[in-house]
Each structure stands twice: as structure tokens, then as C-alpha cells.
Homo-oligomer: A and B are copies of this chain.
Amino acid sequence: MPKPHSHLVPSRSAKRAHYDQESIYSILDEALFCTISYSVDNRPFSIPTSFVRYEDKIYIHGSVGSHFIREIEKGIPVCITVMLTDALVVAKSAFSHSVNYRSVVIFAQAEKIEDITRKTESFEWLTNKIVPGSWEYLRPIKDNEVRKTTSLAFSLDEASAKIRTGMPNDEEEDKPLPIWSGLIPLQTNRLTPISDDLSKEIPLPAHLSHL
């Protein structure tokens, strides 16, 4: 049987699918951004945004006036994708090239968070995910900021993960070829923070001092 052909497209082959909570949560907790897509009159729209997982849901935030937010807060079906890329998989043939990735796809509908305490908590979760330890340090959030922001939750009931790891799967007849094959690891780093002019005299807080 021919092996699934990937060509750098994350394969839909079942062997890469994972439905366990641990795989799904670990990808969602590492990724800062997702892409949310939705349909209007059978036309697709999608937008990248930051998100945070808390317990069995993910949360996003947006301006109450945003067109995107106003569409999806209606509870229409959305598809949310998250992808982390770990390595380029360099085979002996272009055909067998691939990518080591960890991705999650979620099918869900928005649940609008109206409760002010839970809404404020969801800002805290997102802020502390993007910059760990920062929420308590920042100027406290104001009521009107909470009011101007919509918080939407999405269930993870219909979430699945796909993961590719390991070396290239070269064709048998290609394996003896004197062509280099292997992985080029990809790594995203946070670099040394750059102060705003407003903050030149202010020491970097403890939660950023490791950067």
C-alpha cells in the first residue's frame, strides 16, 4: 500500500489523530494564537487571534464593536485551528518532505460570557498566558474595559489533535541514495524585552527578568 502522501500538508491519516485530553490541552496551552473560521451565506471568513484554555473550554476576547465578534457571538458554527511547527522534515525526495507539527481542530459555537466575574477571570487567564505572571503587576482592569470587551467561550467536546513526529518516511528505493535527510528543528523564542520610552527608568519586573 502506498504511504500517505503528505507534501507538507498535515495528513488526515488516522494514525496521526489523537483525541486524548492530554494531547489536546498541551497543544492549546503552548500555542498563543489560533485561527477562527466561520461562514456567512456559505462564504468562509477566518481571523487569527490569541486565546487561552481554561478547564474544558477555550476563550477569546474582542471589541464589542468588532464585526467578527458580532458574527460569531450569535452562536454560529466555527472551526478553530491551532498549529505548532516543530521541524521541517527533509527527505531524499521532494515528494516525501513533510513537517513535524502538532495541531488541534475544534468545531464549536461561541458561548458569550455575561457574568462579570467569569468575564474578568477570562481576561486574567489570557493575560497570564501571554505574559506569565503579569496580571497582578499591571494596572487593574476597569469596569468600562470589561464592558467594552466581549469574552467568548468554546467547548472542546469536538476537538481533536494531529501530531507528526520523527524522521522522514522515504520510499524504500530511495533509502540507499547518497542524499542527506533528516530534520531542521524550528524554535520560537522570546527575546530580550525592549522598553518603551515611557518605561526607560522602570526596572523590568521579576516575571520578565528571565528573558
**Alpha-carbon distance A175/B139, docked complex (angstroms):** 11
Whether the pair B199, A180 counts as a contact (CB closer than 8 A) is yes
Chain B residue with the shortest CB-CB distance to A90: B131
Known contacts: A43-B39, A63-B5, A148-B5. The answer to whether A93 contacts B185 by CB under 8 A is: no
CB distance from A193 to the nearest CB of B (A): 5
26 contacts between A and B (CB under 8 A): A9-B61, A9-B68, A32-B85, A35-B37, A41-B42, A43-B77, A44-B46, A46-B105, A47-B81, A48-B83, A88-B130, A88-B131, A88-B190, A91-B138, A94-B145, A95-B142, A131-B184, A139-B177, A167-B198, A180-B199, A180-B205, A184-B208, A186-B191, A187-B189, A187-B191, A188-B188
Known contacts: A33-B83, A79-B44. The answer to whether A188 contacts B186 by CB under 8 A is: yes
Whether the pair A202, B179 counts as a contact (CB closer than 8 A) is yes
Chain B residue with the shortest CB-CB distance to A83: B48
**Alpha-carbon distance A127/B9, docked complex (angstroms):** 13
Residues of B close to A16: CB separation below 8 A: none
Whether the pair B184, A141 counts as a contact (CB closer than 8 A) is no
Whether the pair A180, B167 counts as a contact (CB closer than 8 A) is no
**Alpha-carbon distance A139/B99, docked complex (angstroms):** 19
Residues of B close to A139: CB separation below 8 A: 92-93, 174, 177, 179
Question: Looking at chain A's contact residues, is the secondary structure mostly helix, strand, loop, or mixed?
Answer: mixed
CB distance from A169 to the nearest CB of B (A): 10
Residues of B close to A42: CB separation below 8 A: 39, 41-42, 77
Residues of B close to A138: CB separation below 8 A: 91-94, 179
Chain B residue with the shortest CB-CB distance to A51: B8
Residues of B close to A99: CB separation below 8 A: 50
Whether the pair A189, B191 counts as a contact (CB closer than 8 A) is no
Whether the pair B39, A44 counts as a contact (CB closer than 8 A) is yes
**Alpha-carbon distance A138/B92, docked complex (angstroms):** 6
